[in-house]
Amino acid sequence: MSFFLPAFKFEKVTDITPDILRELGVELLILDVDNTIAPYGQVTLDNQVLSWAGELKAAGVGLYIVSNNKGQRPEIFSKLLDVPYIKRAGKPSPRGVREALENAGVPPDRAALAGDQIYTDTIAANLAKVKMMLVEPIRFTNPFLAIRYFFELPFRTGKKL
Ligand SMILES: [Mg+2]
């Protein structure tokens, strides 16, 4: 049951500030793509996300994209942000998250995962023992996403910072 529960909850990914991460001892922030840093289908990143990522990097926080997406967008965003990526990560399996930790050389207790979903991101983060930082989905582009969100509601808890 606790594998469904995020440690922290934010309105949007850009609310995860360098100060918060420093306070929690987080050196690596693993990023989900779809509905976390960009809506489904969008191939650009908003300026707000770009400048936020720049601030984190300037503060010494490593970023790593770990996405279940099978298409081109993980790579496109990886290039835009100049950060490494893993696609087809298979979340809720912790495989992709563990691979990112290993490649970055960061232990799980100094890492966090920012994502919008319970049944993929949160479970993967908890299985890999990294701090889950749940964000609200950017946009519901189809009814299925809204329905899934409804079934996630009981688990969409977490400490607000
Ligand atoms: Mg997502």
pLDDT in tens, 51-71: 999 999 999 999 999 999 999
Domain residues for the domain of 116 are: 2-153
Residue 25 Cα to ligand 1 middle (Å): 24
Residue 57 Cα to ligand 1 middle (Å): 22
Q: Is residue 111 part of a domain?
A: yes
Q: pTM above 0.85? A: yes
- Per the CB < 8 A criterion, the answer to whether 35 and 46 are in contact is no
Q: Is residue 161 part of a domain?
A: no
pLDDT in tens, 9-33: 999 999 999 999 999 999 999 999 9
Residue 114 Cα to ligand 1 middle (Å): 9
Q: What would the two tokens of residue 60 be?
A: 């010494």
Q: Is residue 160 part of a domain?
A: no
What's the pLDDT score for residue 161?
86
What's the pLDDT score for residue 101?
98
Q: Is residue 88 part of a domain?
A: yes
- Per the CB < 8 A criterion, the answer to whether 56 and 13 are in contact is no
Q: Which helix (H) or strand (E) holds 151?
A: helix 143-152
How far is the C-alpha of 90 from the C-alpha of 15, rounded, in Å?
Answer: 26
Q: Is residue 42 part of a domain?
A: yes
Residue 142 Cα to ligand 1 middle (Å): 14
CB neighbour list of residue 43: distance below 8 Å, 6 or more residues apart: 72, 73, 76
pLDDT in tens, 40-54: 999 999 999 999 999
CATH number of 25's domain: 3.40.50.1000
Q: Is residue 159 part of a domain?
A: no
Residue 23 Cα to ligand 1 middle (Å): 25
Confidence check: pLDDT of 1 > 60: no
Q: Please state, in angstroms and as integers, the Cα–Cα distance from residue 130 to each residue in 72, 109, 160, following that order.
A: 26, 6, 17
Residue 97 Cα to ligand 1 middle (Å): 14
Q: Please state, in angstroms and as integers, the Cα–Cα distance from residue 26 to each residue in 23, 29, 68, following that order.
A: 8, 7, 23
Residue 109 Cα to ligand 1 middle (Å): 22
Residue 102 Cα to ligand 1 middle (Å): 22
Q: What would the two tokens of residue 134 be?
A: 């749940």
Q: Which helix (H) or strand (E) holds 96?
A: helix 95-104
Q: How many folded domains does the chain comprise?
A: 1
Residue 161: what residue type? L
pLDDT in tens, 77-120: 999 999 999 999 999 999 999 999 999 999 999 999 999 999 99
- Per the CB < 8 A criterion, the answer to whether 130 and 3 are in contact is no
